[in-house]
Amino acid sequence: MWRASVLTIFPELFPGPLGASLAGRALGQKIWSCEAIDIRDFAADKHRSVDDTPAGGGPGMVMRADVLARAIDAAAPASDLRSRILLTPRGKPLLQSRVRELAAGPGVVLVSGRFEGVDERVVEMRGLEEISIGDYVLSGGEIAALVLIDACVRLLPGVMGKEASHAEESFEAGLLEYPHYTKPQEFEGRPIPEVLNSGHHGKVAAWRREQAEKATRERRPDLWGKRKDDPPKKA
Ligand code: SAM
C-alpha cells in the first residue's frame, strides 16, 4: 500500500477531496492510505503552540523546529524509506517526472507549512526535500499536499482502470496534450474536426501530434525548448 502521512495543524482537511471519485475508491480499496498528523500534538506547552516570532524581527510567525521535528520523527522513524517533503513556494517546482518517481516508491511524508514558513534548521536536520506546486503563494501547505498526493495516487496501479493510458497525457512526451472532442457532432455551429471522424488511425494520430506540438509551442515555449526526443526545428 502507498502511504501518505501529512503533518499539519489542520488534520480535518484530509483526505478532503481525495475521499471522492477515483482516489476515494482507491482509498477504500486500500491501494493507498492517508494519515493526517496534528503538529499541535507535539507541542510542549498547555497552549499547544507550534509557532513563534521570527529571529531577526519582521512580520508573522515561524513554525518551531523542535515541535515539527518531534512530529516528523513520530510520523516517520529513520527506518521509514518514504520521501520527506516540505511544501513551500521556495521549493523546486513539482514536475510530472518527480510525481512518477514518488508514485513508484513507498509513499510520502508531507509537511504542510503555515504562517511565514518553518524554521530552516528542521529542513536541514530532517533532510526535507522542498517542493513548490507553482509560482504563487497559498495560505498554507495543505492544498499543496493534496495536489501532490492526487497527482501520485492516480498513477498507482489499479486506480485509473486499464483503458486509461498515461502515455498520451500532458507532460509525458514533453508536450501538452491534444484537444478533445465528443458528441454532439455540431456545437453552436462548430463541427468536430473532420479528421476525427475519418476512422483513419494514422491520420488521427498525426493530427493529434501536430495539435500537441502547436499547443506546446504557443503556450509553453519553456517546455517546447526542453524537448529531447525531437528538438524544435529552426524557423
Ligand atoms: N512567507 C512564505 C514565502 O514568501 O515564501 C510564504 C508562506 S505561505 C503564507 C504559508 C505556507 O503555505 C508555506 O509555508 C507553505 O507550506 C505553503 N505554500 C504556500 N505557497 C505554496 C506553494 N506555491 N507551493 C507549496 N506550498 C506552498
The answer to whether position 162 is within a domain reads no
**CA dihedral of residues 118, 122, 126, 129 (deg, nearest 10):** 30
Q: Which atom of ligand 1 is nearest to the CA of 90?
A: 5
**Same domain, residue pair 51 and 15:** yes
Task: Give the distance (Å) from ligand 1 centre to CA of residue 117.
Answer: 7
Task: Please write the tens of the pLDDT for every residue from 12-70.
Answer: 999 999 999 999 999 999 999 999 999 999 999 999 999 999 999 999 999 999 999 99
Task: Give the distance (Å) from ligand 1 centre to CA of residue 120.
Answer: 14
**Same domain, residue pair 94 and 146:** yes
Show the domain range for 139: 2-153
Give the pairing type, strands 2-8 and 107-112: parallel
Task: Please write the tens of the pLDDT for every residue from 207-217.
Answer: 999 999 999 99
| 139 Cβ inside 6 Å of ligand 1 | yes
* Atom 19 of ligand 1: nearest residue by CA position: 138
Task: Give the distance (Å) from ligand 1 centre to CA of residue 67.
Answer: 19
* Atom 8 of ligand 1: nearest residue by CA position: 139
**CA dihedral of residues 212, 218, 224, 230 (deg, nearest 10):** 50
| 15 Cβ inside 6 Å of ligand 1 | no
Q: How far is 195 from 172, CA to CA, in rounded Å?
A: 24
Task: Please write the tens of the pLDDT for every residue from 146-202.
Answer: 999 999 999 999 999 765 678 788 998 899 999 999 999 999 999 999 999 999 999
- 88 close to 120: Cβ distance less than 8 angstroms: no
The percentage of the chain sitting over the pLDDT mark of 70, rounded to a whole number, equals 95
Per-residue model confidence (pLDDT) at position 163:
55
**Same domain, residue pair 37 and 127:** yes
Q: How far is 54 from 86, CA to CA, in rounded Å?
A: 19
Which CATH number do you get for residue 84?
A: 3.40.1280.10
The answer to whether position 234 is within a domain reads no
In one letter, which amino acid is 203? K
The answer to whether position 161 is within a domain reads no
* Atom 2 of ligand 1: nearest residue by CA position: 116
3-state secondary structure of 197: helix
Going by pLDDT thresholds of 50, 70 and 90, the confidence category of residue 233 is low
Task: Please write the tens of the pLDDT for every residue from 130-146.
Answer: 999 999 999 999 999 99
pTM, entire model:
0.94
| 92 Cβ inside 6 Å of ligand 1 | no
**Same domain, residue pair 149 and 219:** no
3-state secondary structure string across 33-100: EEEEEEHHHHCCCCCCCCEECCCCCCCCCEECHHHHHHHHHHHCCCCCCCEEEEEEEEEEECCHHHHH
- 156 close to 23: Cβ distance less than 8 angstroms: no
Number of domains in the chain: 2
From 90, 167, 172, select the one nearest 129 (Cα to Cα): 90
Give the pairing type, strands 62-63 and 51-52: antiparallel
